[in-house]
Amino acid sequence: MDGTGIGVAPPMIAAHPRMRAELEAALPKAKLHPGPHTMDEDELIAFLSGCDKAILGFEPVTEKVISALPGLKIVSKFGAGYESFDFAALRRHNVRFGYTWGVNKLAVAELALTFMISALRWIGPLNLAMREGGRPRYRNGRLLTGRVVGIHGCGNIGKEVTRLLRPFGCEIIACDIADYSGFYREHNVKPVSFDELLARSEVLTLHLPKTAKTRGLYDRAALEKLRSDSVLINTCRGGIVDEAALLERLNSGALTAAAFDVFAVEPATNDALLRHPNMLATPHIGASAEEIRVETIRAAIRGLSEAEEVDPAKYYAE
């Protein structure tokens, strides 16, 4: 495969020297989108005209796009997450899909662990105070060791978080829609209901896909059930947590701290939340490690040859 007839849409690939080198070595004739923006439907249709294969990221892969590209036979997903893909449309038009599960799991899990320790030890507000010229003396935080850590979504990333937490002696509880009973037994994870997860977690970390069932799941009512001394961490997808309700909880002191890598609108614009001293925020950097970027583009290249017929249910297309 030399890349003839392959369109590579994510602008990050062309802009990142190591990823671009990997791609050009494997697919020297592939057409790259130079960016800097993510293409909309019409731009994507024009870009992929004449292509029979594509590597796509978060471009809108809709019925409009697929039906306008009758020659397109295979799409491979670059990166994790696929909420911009209409899997029913892919199936209707017999377009095969390549995807590697968990390619970014270690990078996201390490960020989640970083958030846990930083929030428990007040790293964010203390750093902010010192940067602004304050002279904070000290502020007692809490150890991660021995905490009750709740994991909502024990898939690839949730499992990796569990592994990384092993040296800290935490009590790990988990809530899932899938059956991970074997993993739970092996790693001493206690399965709990959603309500118990909210009520017991001292640290609650979210690792859910963004679907019709999870959008807005952490609404005001759910957030009110969290312990007042808890820390809420979100490194999965924006829109799962109600950000206005979250700000209310932080402002009132009913939630100790939050640490988010993802937001409903990205780049994030909710400045009142972003500037809250007990809110630690990063700009969707979960997969942004050099080692993971290289593996991600390699996985996307493999996906072109390993693509399979689409089963929408497999990808939570609800």
Whether residue 146 lies inside any domain: the answer is: yes
What are the backbone angles phi and psi of residue 178, rounded to the nearest 5°? -100, 165
Nearest alpha-carbon partner for 9 in 33, 31, 30:
33
Whether residue 267 is found in the same domain as residue 168: yes
Q: Read off the CATH number of the domain in which 88 is found.
A: 3.40.50.720
Distance CA 211, CA 153 (A): 13
Q: What is the dihedral of CA 123, 125, 131, 134, to 10 degrees?
A: -120
**Residue that has been written with the tokens 């994870």 in this structure:** 189
Q: Which residues, given as ranges, of the chain have pLDDT below 50?
A: 317-318
Whether residue 305 is found in the same domain as residue 212: no
Whether residue 144 is found in the same domain as residue 276: yes
**Residue that has been written with the tokens 């993971």 in this structure:** 292
Share of the chain above pLDDT 70, in %: 98
**What are the CB-based long-range contacts (under 8 Å, 24+) for 15-19?**
16/293, 18/290, 18/293, 18/294, 19/293, 19/294, 19/296, 19/297
pLDDT for res 83 = 83
Whether residue 171 is found in the same domain as residue 295: no
Whether residue 96 is found in the same domain as residue 131: no
pLDDT for res 317 = 41
pLDDT for res 318 = 38
Q: Number of structural domains, the chain?
A: 2
Nearest alpha-carbon partner for 116 in 74, 73, 168, 180:
168
Whether residue 153 is found in the same domain as residue 134: yes
- Catalytic residue ranges: 237, 266, 284
Whether residue 124 is found in the same domain as residue 170: yes
Q: Give the pLDDT confidence of 139-179 residue by residue, as tens digits.
A: 899 999 999 999 999 999 999 999 999 999 999 999 998 89
What are the backbone angles phi and psi of residue 7, rounded to the nearest 5°? -105, 135
Whether residue 176 lies inside any domain: the answer is: yes
pLDDT for res 316 = 53
pLDDT for res 1 = 73
Q: Residue 17 sits in which domain range?
A: 6-101+289-315
Whether residue 1 lies inside any domain: the answer is: no
Nearest alpha-carbon partner for 187 in 172, 175, 200, 198:
172
Q: Give the pLDDT confidence of 221-250 residue by residue, as tens digits.
A: 999 999 999 999 999 999 999 999 999 999
